[in-house]
Amino acid sequence: MPVAGELTHFNAQGQAHMVNVGDKAETKRIATAQGDIRMLPDTLRLIEEGSHKKGDVLGIARIAAIMAAKKTSDLIPLCHPLPLTAVNVEFTIDRVKSTVRCAVTCETFGRTGIEMEALTAVQVGLLTIYDMCKAVDKGMVMTDVRLIEKIGGKSGHWTTGAISTLPLV
């Protein structure tokens, strides 16, 4: 077992390896991540009104985020494939800041954490918004992607205490 503060994806020789989780107990694991995309007010209005010529931007971004959570181990080299039991994607519009917040909660019952799935889903959800709106706003900025909370496993419950209280769209 690694000592506190050690990186677990390196062996004693300093070589990258996939962590052996075979002896860990299976527990319910939940992780929530979020991030924002800032855009021009006119771009936000197109998304909010559903009048973007490419269609339902947030609906497509929701599906993309779910797909990304399911494919995380294909994208992150040493990430274990996990059987997801739930993926919840929520978008919040902040007209004052001209942003869309993507919050993703992933759940599994397994031997390793699910943080990477939630973080990957947020990034892909935001990238999908960018992709669908880049024709009208190339200057969009994705910011503040971070883990908000994780529950389960040996390390227990962790939270930033910064879960958004913005109304959901």
To the query of whether residue 56 is one of the catalytic residues in this protein, the response is no
Residue 133 within any structural domain of the chain: yes
Residue 75 within any structural domain of the chain: yes
Annotated catalytic residue within 36, 94, 131, 137: 131
Residue 10 within any structural domain of the chain: no
Residue 8 within any structural domain of the chain: no
Residue 147 within any structural domain of the chain: yes
Backbone angles phi, psi at 33, to 5 degrees: -130, 160
Single pTM value for the model: 0.83
pLDDT, tens digit, for every residue of 97-153? 999 999 999 999 988 879 999 999 999 999 999 999 999 999 999 999 999 999 988
pLDDT at 111: 80
What DSSP string describes 58-111?
HHHHHHHHHHHHHTHHHHSTTPPP--EEEEEEEEEEETTTTEEEEEEEEEEEES
Q: Which of 112, 116, 89 is nearest to 101 (CA)?
A: 89
The alpha carbon of 44 is separated from its chain's Cα centroid by a whole number of angstroms, namely: 21
pLDDT at 150: 94
Q: What angle do CA 55, 56, 58 make, to 5 degrees?
A: 140
Report the domain count for the chain.
1
Residue 76 within any structural domain of the chain: yes
pLDDT at 2: 45
Q: Report the run of H or E that residue 126 belongs to, with start and end.
A: helix 115-133
Distance separating alpha carbons of residues 169 and 157, to the nearest angstrom: 28
- What CATH number has the domain bearing residue 142? 3.30.70.640
Residue 121 within any structural domain of the chain: yes
For the chain, give percent helix, strand, coil, nearest 5. Answer: 25, 30, 45
pLDDT tops 70 at residue 9: no
pLDDT, tens digit, for every residue of 64-79? 999 999 999 999 888 8
pLDDT, tens digit, for every residue of 80-99? 889 999 999 999 999 999 99
Domain that holds residue 129: 27-153
